[in-house]
Amino acid sequence: MKSLCVAVLLLAVSGLVMSAEEDSSSQAKLLVSKQILNKYLVEDMDIVLKYSLYNVGSSAAVNVALKDSSFPADSFSVVGGSLELNVDRIPPGANVSHVVVVRPRKPGYFNFSSAEVNYLPSDEAKQPQFAVSSEPGEGGIIAFRDFDKKFSPHVLDWAAFAVMTLPCLAIPFLLWWSSKSKYEALVKGGKKDKSNKD
């Protein structure tokens, strides 16, 4: 009985050691993409950025920290979300998405560059692994005025058009209406006369 216990213990220990060895050889590997989900980049309008972290390694990535310092405060303001992301653990085969909404303050061309990520490739790792995300590349931010020219619903213009077309429609209608009401008054008078006769 005692020998069996020892054997089981030995097996368990060897198994632990083996798994530890496997862990040291297996590493997490993160692929980080940074995407702009907008079709048009417009001054003072929202730009939606999506960061996706895919763990394609065989071990969990620990203490993942993503930081995007590519948006200078004088030309961009963060409207929603945060440009920094901390994830405790990304298991192998899993992915994490993070969305930030920023607003450009001025029009012009802007080079959307990459975000920086650092993480521990496994639970035992001491040295953090540094990585950079994909770059969306250079994008032209168009002025709001130009965007509005193309895509505004022109409510004011249509209202002005309605006001301008009003006389052309209203004057003939009023003429017709006055003649009609005159005629109807005549008919009613005739009926009254008839009923009086009867």
Partner 1 sequence: MRGVTEGDEDTGPKASPDAETTILFVNPVTQPGSPLDLPAGRIAEFLVGFSNKGKQDMTLELIDASFRYAMDYNFYMQNFSTIAYQQVVKPSHESTIMYSFIPAETFAGRPFGFTVNLHYKDAAGVIYRQAVFNETVNVIEIEEGLDGETFFLYVFLAACVVLLLVAGQQFLYSVGRGSRGGRSAGRKNPAVETGTNNPNDVDYDWLPRETLNSIKKSPKSPKMSPRSQKQSPRTRKVKRSQGDD
Which residues form the interface with partner 1 (CB under 8 A)?
Answer: 29-33, 35, 52, 54, 56, 114, 129-135, 187, 190-191, 194
- Specify the residue, 109 or 130, whose C-beta has the smaller distance to partner 1: 130
Min dist. Cβ of residue 104 to partner 1 (A): 22
Taking the least distance from each CB to partner 1, the nearer of 15 and 91 is 91
Closest C-alpha to 133, from 155, 112, 117: 117
| C-alpha–C-alpha distance, residues 180 and 192, integer Å | 18
For partner 1, give the closer residue by CB, 36 or 78.
36
> In the numeric block, which tokens belong to residue 104?
């450009």
DSSP string, 40-101: S-BTTS-EEEEEEEEE-SSS-EEEEEEE---S-TTTEEEEES-SEEEEEEE-TT-EEEEEEE
Provide the minimum distance between the beta carbon of 46 and partner 1 in the complex, in angstroms, as a whole number.
22
In the complex, minimum distance from the CB of residue 192 to partner 1, in angstroms, rounded to a whole number: 11
Smallest gap from Cβ 131 to partner 1, in A, equals 4
Q: By C-beta, is 76 or 119 nearer to partner 1?
A: 119
**Tokens, residue 163:** 């006001």
